[in-house]
């Protein structure tokens, strides 16, 4: 082993406090970035996950103007499900309704409630809304209704088995009224689900609206979400003359996520500033190390070490600090990520974070921390080379 | 050569027209009272500092024209140092300290064996793997002698090598330096304020008020010998 590496190692090993301090500084810088990533990227991905799972699928097919009338939902679903990347597709239709319930002789009414018509057979293959039904079960028949938890509360505490009267204004402007039996109450963490809506069978909604064969949207779930753009392009190429609008989840969720994305960028920047602070801590600690080794530097220079040898010794120290700090920091960060992922971390009952291991970012952060530790060592190392042997040896 | 520190009112003429030469294999004692300029002279000869004017030539090389890196290499290959306090690196073992000049030189061939032999010769055969701060002052100074010799330098420069030692240990170290000088035919220039500790030596140079005189008799200004 080169004597300079050996000496750098020994000098650091004999200054355990400084070494520990420098390693902690680098590690904490990395940990902050990991924690930021887990929380904010996790939140971002969780919102995408829930928007995709509840409302948009991986790809959403709609009509540019109104509802889909050009092709039947059965045709479109079958066509889409023939694409190898597509796992399932399901139609939905939306409107709004007035709902009233009579409880203990008292009628409670709620107006302008979003109502979603779903195909129970297809929807559970595409969407995860059915998993948010905490009480009872998902829509399974033409007269069953799932009520969002917020609506259930607004209606005075609707329970499974209660009867609801739903009034919708149909396409002719006439009231369509129908009674439903509550089969489930939907409640999603974070409220991205149908907590503020009610869900019924799509054919029932079509009947009430007098919009047979019409579909509001087709949700498409992919077995490989990275192929969303390919599916989108294929669909649009296959139906060039129809007025379809196809969006990937990123496009569908753009409005919700655009502000959030700049927030994440800001938080990431704060994380990187934190790492810069760590670099300043390394500079300070390395300066202390140089100062405490002034006499040794003088001795080495006296017995023939060149300025570059001294430079190399302290740069090696920076590398050692960088390697150990990056290793320990990445270890801490991965432990936190693992914990957050395994415990499905959430804050105060909000939506559970969608935690993932972004290896390129993890490696990039570790390399950046290592680089900063080395860069932070340059100035102290140069200072060390400037010491004159005679003056340095006078230091005690 | 001359060496002047400071400027204006604070100007100190540390060395005044000092000029002498040393033959290969000589054991030279540089004596003088405290503050006379002995250590300054040694720093000039050891290329640890540059004279204000004049030159230091070693083995026919005028060192004043050398760059910083060349001076470092020159120090490493031509000069051995023994300091007042042993100045071993406390992070390394005795053996590693002894090997350090060779490591700096990147001439590792036989270095280990030579260093071990030197340590045995100075009586540290059983201490070589101890950390430098775990041995006594006398042992550290022996290790410093071994380190000063490991590169087979043209000159070994010793600055008050017994200054921090008790009289018994000091006597041992002096005898060790003398015997090594004799055994290896090694040139020694030793700075001391206690001439009597050293007994018989080849030559004595006295420094008084920055001026160098041959022998122990200060009034006679030294003649230049080339």
Residue B17: CATH number of its domain = 3.40.50.300
Domain count along chain B = 1
pLDDT given for residue B218 in this prediction: 61
pLDDT given for residue A391 in this prediction: 79
Instruction: Give the residue from A300, A302, A394 with the most B CB atoms within 10 Å of its CB, the best one to mutate.
Output: A302
pLDDT given for residue B83 in this prediction: 85
Instruction: Give the residue from A294, A302, A303, A393 with the most B CB atoms within 10 Å of its CB, the best one to mutate.
Output: A303
B56: helix, strand or coil: coil
With a cut of 50, which residues of chain A have pLDDT below it?
Answer: none
Whether B195 is covered by a domain: the verdict is: yes
**A395 to chain B: nearest residue by CA?**
B87
pLDDT tens for B159-216 read 888 887 788 888 888 888 888 888 888 899 999 888 888 888 899 999 988 898 888 7
Domain residues for the domain of B19 are 3-88+153-214
Whether B198 is covered by a domain: the verdict is: yes
pLDDT given for residue A351 in this prediction: 83
Quote the minimal CA–CA distance from A324 to chain B in Å: 20
Instruction: Test B147 with A303 for CB contact under 8 angstroms.
Output: yes
Locate the domains of chain A by residue range: 3-51+257-394, 66-242
Band of pLDDT at residue B219, cut at 50, 70 and 90: low
pLDDT given for residue B226 in this prediction: 40
For A37-103, where are the alpha helices, taking DSSP H only?
42-50, 73-81
Write the burial class of residue B184 (CB in 10 Å: 0-12 exposed, 13-18 middle, 19+ buried). middle
Structure tokens at B118: 């030197």
Instruction: Test A393 with B72 for CB contact under 8 angstroms.
Output: no
**Residue ranges of E strands in A187-305:** 198-201, 217-222, 244-248
Angular region, A156: left φ>0, alpha ψ -120 to 50, beta rest: left
pLDDT given for residue A152 in this prediction: 93
Whether B17 is covered by a domain: the verdict is: yes
Instruction: Test B100 with A302 for CB contact under 8 angstroms.
Output: no
**B221 pLDDT higher than 60:** no
Of B43, B68, B87, Cβ closest to residue A307: B68
Instruction: Test B91 with A3 for CB contact under 8 angstroms.
Output: no
Of A3, A304, A393, Cβ closest to residue B72: A304
Band of pLDDT at residue B222, cut at 50, 70 and 90: low
**B147 to chain A: nearest residue by CA?**
A303
pLDDT given for residue B105 in this prediction: 86
Instruction: Test B87 with A299 for CB contact under 8 angstroms.
Output: yes
pLDDT given for residue B160 in this prediction: 86
Burial annotation A6-39 (CB, 10 A radius, 16+ → b, else e) = bbbbbbbebbeebbebbbbbbbbbbbbbbbbbbb
**B158 pLDDT higher than 60:** yes
Instruction: Tell me, yes or no, if B87 comes closer than 8 A to chain A by beta carbon.
Output: yes
């Amino acid at each position: 082993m080169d004597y300079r590496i050996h000496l750098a190692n020994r000098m650091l090993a004999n200054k355990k406090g400084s070494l520990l301090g420098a390693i902690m500084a680098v590690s904490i810088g990395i940990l902050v970035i990991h924690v930021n990533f887990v929380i904010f990227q996790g939140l971002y991905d969780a919102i995408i996950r829930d928007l995709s799972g509840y409302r948009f699928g991986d790809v959403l097919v709609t009509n540019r103007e109104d509802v889909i009338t050009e092709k039947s939902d059965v045709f479109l679903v079958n066509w889409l499900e023939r694409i190898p990347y597509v796992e399932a597709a399901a139609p939905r239709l939306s409107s709004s309704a007035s709902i009233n319930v009579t409880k203990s002789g008292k009628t409670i009414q709620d107006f302008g409630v979003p109502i979603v018509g779903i195909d129970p057979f297809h929807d559970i293959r595409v969407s995860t809304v059915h998993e948010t039904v905490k009480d009872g079960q998902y829509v399974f028949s033409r007269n069953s209704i799932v009520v969002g938890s917020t609506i259930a509360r607004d209606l005075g505490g609707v329970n499974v088995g209660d009867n609801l009267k739903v009034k919708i204004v149909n396409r002719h402007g006439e009231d369509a009224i129908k009674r439903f039996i509550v089969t489930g109450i939907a409640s999603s963490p974070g409220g991205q689900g149908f907590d503020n809506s009610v869900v019924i069978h799509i054919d029932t909604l079509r009947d009430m609206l007098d919009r047979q064969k019409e579909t509001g949207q087709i949700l498409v779930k992919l077995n490989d979400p990275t192929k969303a753009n390919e599916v989108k392009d294929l669909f649009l190429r296959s139906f060039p003359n129809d007025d379809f609008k196809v969006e990937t989840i990123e496009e569908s969720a753009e409005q919700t996520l655009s502000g959030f994305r700049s927030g994440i960028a800001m938080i990431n920047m704060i994380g990187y500033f934190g790492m810069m602070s760590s670099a300043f801590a390394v500079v300070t600690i390395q300066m202390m190390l140089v100062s405490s080794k002034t006499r040794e530097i003088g001795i080495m220079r006296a017995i023939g070490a060149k300025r570059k040898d001294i430079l190399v010794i302290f740069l090696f120290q920076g590398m050692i600090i960088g390697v150990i700090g990056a290793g320990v920091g990445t270890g801490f960060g991965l432990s936190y990520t693992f914990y957050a992922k395994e415990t499905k971390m959430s804050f105060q009952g909000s939506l559970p974070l969608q935690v993932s291991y972004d290896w390129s970012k993890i490696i990039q952060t570790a390399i950046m921390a290592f680089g900063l530790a080395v860069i932070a060592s340059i100035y102290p190392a140069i200072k060390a080379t400037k010491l004159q042997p005679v003056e340095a040896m006078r230091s005690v | 050569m001359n060496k002047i520190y400071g400027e204006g009112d604070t100007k100190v003429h540390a060395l005044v027209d000092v000029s002498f030469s040393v033959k290969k294999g000589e054991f030279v004692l540089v004596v003088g009272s405290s503050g006379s300029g002995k250590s300054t002279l040694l720093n000039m000869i050891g290329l640890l500092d540059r004279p204000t004017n004049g030159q230091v030539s070693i083995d026919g090389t005028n060192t004043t024209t050398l760059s910083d890196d060349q001076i470092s290499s020159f120090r490493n290959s031509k000069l051995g140092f023994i300091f007042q306090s042993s100045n071993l690196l406390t992070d390394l073992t005795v053996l590693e300290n002894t090997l350090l000049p060779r490591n700096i030189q990147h001439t590792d061939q036989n270095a280990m064996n030579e260093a071990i032999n030197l340590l045995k010769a100075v009586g540290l055969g059983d201490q070589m793997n101890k950390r430098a701060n775990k041995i006594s002052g006398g042992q550290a100074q022996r290790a410093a002698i071994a380190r000063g010799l490991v590169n087979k330098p043209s000159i070994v420069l010793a600055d008050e090598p017994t200054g921090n030692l008790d009289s018994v240990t000091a006597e041992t170290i002096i005898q060790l330096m003398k015997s090594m000088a004799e055994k290896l035919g090694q040139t020694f220039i030793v700075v001391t304020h206690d001439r009597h500790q050293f007994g018989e030596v080849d030559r004595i140079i006295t420094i008084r008020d920055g001026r160098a005189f041959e022998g122990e008799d200060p009034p006679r200004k030294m003649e230049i010998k080339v």
